[in-house]
Amino acid sequence: MAVKKTLTSAKPFSEGGKVTRWSLTMQYEQGKEGEADYYTSDRNITIDAAETDDGVTVNNFTPKAEKDWTKKELEDLCPVAKWDEIFASQYDSVITNPKKEPVVNNDFVIPS
């Protein structure tokens, strides 16, 4: 079954009428809710229009008014490739190949 990705939250932070930071949440879902194969996980990111690290500035997006943003533009700000890998790994470890818990044998008799 395909993984469903839904942008569930987008919170803009504005300066001078333009968005300079976004806080975004995307929900990942796979399987059918209520079934054994169902798994869901939220991924979050807060991203600034520009970030400076060690004197190097990286421009992540151009600030503009809230009304000028499209859903696709917001989704494109999300590191979906990285999140896809994380979700696939989580799904595998929780649904496909869950950790097996050891079973205790309360009837074990100590050899003489």
Number of domains within the chain: 1
**Whole-structure pTM value:** 0.82
Q: What pLDDT, on a 0 to 100 scale, did the predictor assign at position 99? A: 80
pLDDT of 31? 92
pLDDT tens string 76-92 = 999 999 999 999 999 99
Domain assignment present for 111: no
| Residue ranges in the chain whose pLDDT is less than 70 | 1
Residue 71 lies in a domain: yes
Cβ-in-10-Å burial (0-12, 13-18, 19+) of 72 comes to exposed
pLDDT for position 100: 84
For residue 73, give its domain range.
4-96
At residue 72, what are phi and psi to the nearest 5 degrees? Answer: -60, -40
